[in-house]
Structure formats: structure tokens, C-alpha cells
Amino acid sequence: MTYTIIMIVSVLIVLGIAAAFGFAVNSGYNYKHTVDPLPDNEDNNPEHKTENEAPKS
């Protein structure tokens, strides 16, 4: 009797861990990945200039 209860509990633990693993993998595949846009060329963008930097001529 004890052996049967231990086996049932063990199988339930293994199934629970497998379900958690499957949920984590599925959530990872459903995640929407984004890529930041490339920054503008710093030489042509006045926002990147500092106050002490003289404009290039």
C-alpha cells in the first residue's frame, strides 16, 4: 500500500514539473521580441552634439 502511494505521488510530481516546463517553454515562444532601431548618424544629428563641441565645417 505504501509503495503504491509513493509511486502515485512521484508520478504526480514528475507530471507537475513537466507541465511547468512546458508552460515556461510555450510562454517563451509566445513572447514578442522587439529590436531597437539603429541610431541616426551622430555627425548629422544635432541632438547628439554637446554644448562644448564645435560644429564641423
Give residue-wise pLDDT tens across range 1-57.
899 999 999 999 999 999 999 999 999 998 888 898 888 776 655 555 555 555 665
Neighbours of 57 (CB within 10 A): 3
| pLDDT at residue 18, rounded to an integer | 98
CA distances, 50 to each of 2, 28, 46, 56, 57 (Å): 76, 41, 9, 13, 16
| pLDDT at residue 40, rounded to an integer | 78
The structure's pTM equals 0.53
| pLDDT at residue 50, rounded to an integer | 59
| pLDDT at residue 22, rounded to an integer | 97
Q: Helical H runs in 1-57?
A: 2-30
| pLDDT at residue 12, rounded to an integer | 98
